Amino acid sequence: MNDLDERIRGALSGLRRAPVPDPPRLRPATPERRSFPPALFAAAAMLIVLAASLTFMPLRERGPAAVVSHRIEALETRIARIEDEELRALMGRELALLRRELELSLR
Amino acid sequence: MDDLDAVRRGDPEARDRWVAAWWPRVYRMALAMTGREADAEDLAQETLMAGLQALSRFRGESSESTWLYAILLRKHLSQRRRPPPPLRPAPIGREPEVEEALALLADLPPAQKITATLFYVEGLSIQEIARALGVMGPTVKWRLFRVRQTLKRKLGSDAPRIMCKELL
C-alpha cells in the first residue's frame, strides 16, 4: 500500500507545478448606505395617523346587533311592568329568543 | 493573528496580503477539483471571497487551511448543482506532470477528489481531512481506499500518457 501511496503522491505532485495566476484583488461588497427618502417618512406618518385614529375613534356597533340590543332593553322594561304571570312567561320567551338572536349576530 | 484581526477590521492591505498568502494553495486545490484553469480561478475567487466574508465568524477551532478547504468543497458542490458554464478550452502547453495529475483525478467523485488532494498533495492527516470536510475519520479512510482502488488501475495500466477525455 505504501508503494501505491508513493506512486499516487508522485503522480499528483505535478499539481504543485501548475502555474498559478496572480492573486485577485478581492473587495467584499459593502452594504449600500441606507437613506430615508421622503416617501418613507410619508408612509411612517400615515401609519401613525392610522394607529391614532384606530385608538381614539369610538367603535361603531354593528347595525343588526344594535337594533336587537335596543329591542331587548325595551322588552325588559315592559316585562318589569307586567304583573300577569302567563304574559310575563310568554314575553320572557320572546326575550330569550331576542338574546339568542343577539348572540348570533355578534358572531 | 494580528494580520487576521486587521483583515477582520477591513484593512485593505491586510486583506490583499491574506488573499495573496492563500491564493496558490486554494487555486491549486480548485484546479484539482475542476480540472480547468479558468474554472479553478473562479472557484478559488469565490472561496476566498466567502472566506473574507465569514472571517469574523472564524473562531480558530480548526486551522485556516482546513476551514478554507471546507468552504471550497461547499462552493464546488454548489457550482456543480448549477447549470454548467460554457465549455472553456484548457490552455495549450500545459506541463505533462500537471496534465497527468489532473487526468488521474478527473474521474473521481468530488468527495474522493478533495480527499485525495488533501492527503497526497497537501499532506494533511486523516483527522485533519475529517475536520475540514466535516466527516468521520473512517469515512476519510474509506474514501482513500476507493481512491487507491481507482488510481491503482489507472497507474497500473501505465498508458503512454494518461489523458483525460474532459481535457481533450
Which portions of chain A are predicted below pLDDT 70? Answer: 1, 28-36, 58-62
Q: What nine digits make up the cell of A17?
A: 507545478
Domain locations in chain B?
A: 2-167
Among residues A106, A74, A23, A101, the alpha carbon closest in space to that of B17 is found at A23
Please give the model's pTM, rounded to 2 decimal places: 0.62
CB contact under 8 A, B104 and A20: no
| Three-state secondary structure call for residue B58 | coil
Does B98 lie at the interface with A, CB-CB under 8 angstroms?
A: yes
Q: Rounded distance, CA A35 to CA A52, Å? A: 26
Report the CATH fold assignment for B2-167. Butyryl-CoA Dehydrogenase, subunit A; domain 3 (1.20.140)
- Average pLDDT, stretch B41-59? 87
Q: Tens of pLDDT along A92-102? A: 888 899 888 88
Q: What is the DSSP letter of A1?
A: -
Q: What nine digits make up the cell of B122?
A: 497537501
Residues of chain A contacting residue B28, judged by C-beta atoms under 8 Å apart = 15-16, 18, 20
CB contact under 8 A, A28 and B45: no
User: So what's the ipTM on this one?
Assistant: 0.75
| Three-state secondary structure call for residue A10 | helix
Q: Tens of pLDDT along A79-92? A: 888 888 888 888 88
- Angle made by CA atoms B70, B30, B133, in degrees to the nearest 5: 20
CB contact under 8 A, B121 and A25: no
